[in-house]
Structure 1
Amino acid sequence: MGVPEADRRKAMRAVEAMFERYRILAAQRPQDHIDFDREVMDNLKLVDAGIDGSVEFELYIAPDFSNLNNVMHGGAGGLIFDMATTTALCPIAKPGYWEFMGGVTRTLNLSYLKAVPIRTTVRLSSKVVSVGKQMAMIRGVMTSLDGRVTYCTVEHHKVNVPVQEQHRKARVPWDDEFEREWKAKETELKEPKSRI
């Protein structure tokens, strides 16, 4: 049995909203200020997402990510996974619970299994394995598009922190839908249950 299409679309919108907010905030920075993660955020291509806290991307490994050996730099892998795995929290976010940018990284444990050639497009798959009020753990894998080559894996532990106020002010269309949904759920919980 497949995932309902409405759930998939909702999860995709939740992930896309993080990118929309990121772009708004990046545009507010001084013109000569380029954030370290911007190359990744500008080039991740969303393929799929699930309301279970899963997400898949494709990413072209541009020369900007390389080292002198003409393969992806290990530090670039850390940055790529940091951003890609964080987005897996978007579909499970609630008000005050793993909202925009999903907290901060506690540990990011990468295992490099095979060098990633530059000018290659890779698949990044991430899944929330454990999530609570303060801590979350996401696993990720970077593979070739056909899935035959596993380049590296990650275990990403995050700590939930409140959304910065200046980030909250950068509103995106998803915010209205998100807030309506959670207000409706709060109202539903407050209403007495009828006895049948």
Structure 2
Amino acid sequence: MATDKDAEFVTGEARARLMFEQTKVLASSGLEYTNPLIPHLSLLSTTLTPTPKCTFLYTVQQAHTNRLNTLHGGCIATLFDYCTSVAVSLVSKPGFWEFVGVSRTLNTTYLRPAEVGAEVEIECEVVAIGRQLAQLRGTMRRRGGGGEVFATCEHGKFNMDARGKM
């Protein structure tokens, strides 16, 4: 039987967009770990089939660079952590990844530097998702041009929805 809570829960692509918009509000008030990155990130597209996937656009800012004036590895990992979590929201529903889980692993491979001003596309997909564990993948590449890949990630998550019920 559907509850009032179920009726208010947004699913699919609308949920991913809602999660992103809510993060923007939290970031603007200083209440989000992604505060410095979110103003420079936009959600370009979402899809549910054949694989749940989100694509984002990020512009590299001077404040997010290392001593070599390229995007800092910590910023790359943070972007992957957040963006892959939005991808989970595409398949979440009441009782199934409702809170998009917590990270178990985040393996990031850095392939080439992204310079200040570079427009970067971040594509994140749900590779596999079960009751407790999820495997996500992310690719960060230059938008347009040659589309060279800057970094990739594999993100493992654990579902906290059932915590306390085990």
Q: Which residue of 2 aligns with 1:36?
A: 33
Distance 1:64 1:98 in 2: 34
Counterpart amino acid of residue 155 in structure 1: E
Give TM-score, length-normalised by structure 2: 0.81
Q: Which residue of 2 aligns with 1:156?
A: 155
Normalized per residue, the structure richer in helix is: 1
Distance 2:131 2:38 in 1: 26
Q: Which residue of 2 aligns with 1:124?
A: 122
Distance 1:125 1:158 in 2: 17
Counterpart amino acid of residue 105 in structure 1: S
Matches within 5 A, 1:1-40: 11-26=12-27, 33=30, 35-40=32-37
Give TM-score, length-normalised by structure 1: 0.69
Unaligned residue ranges in structure 1 (runs of 5+): 1-9, 164-196
Q: Which residue of 2 aligns with 1:75?
A: 74
Residues 18-54 of structure 1 deviation map (CA, whole Å, 9 limit, x = unaligned): 0233345556xxx6x5543122333321111112320
Retained in 2: the 8 A contact 1:19–1:41?
no
Matches within 5 A, 1:54-65: 54-65=53-64
Cα distance change of structure 1 residues 43 and 97 upon mapping to structure 2, 3 Å threshold: farther
Aligned residues: CA RMSD: 2.1
Counterpart amino acid of residue 138 in structure 1: L
Query: How far 1:162 moved relative to its partner?
Result: 2.9
Cα distance change of structure 1 residues 114 and 134 upon mapping to structure 2, 3 Å threshold: same
Counterpart amino acid of residue 122 in structure 1: V
Cα distance change of structure 1 residues 45 and 25 upon mapping to structure 2, 3 Å threshold: closer
1:111 to 75, 86, 109: 109
Residues 31-82 of structure 1 deviation map (CA, whole Å, 9 limit, x = unaligned): 6x55431223333211111123200010011112101110011111110110
Distance 1:42 1:106 in 2: 27
The 3-state SS of whatever aligns with 1:22 is helix
Which has more radius of gyration? 1
The 3-state SS of whatever aligns with 2:127 is strand
Unaligned residue ranges in structure 2 (runs of 5+): 1-10
Counterpart amino acid of residue 37 in structure 1: T
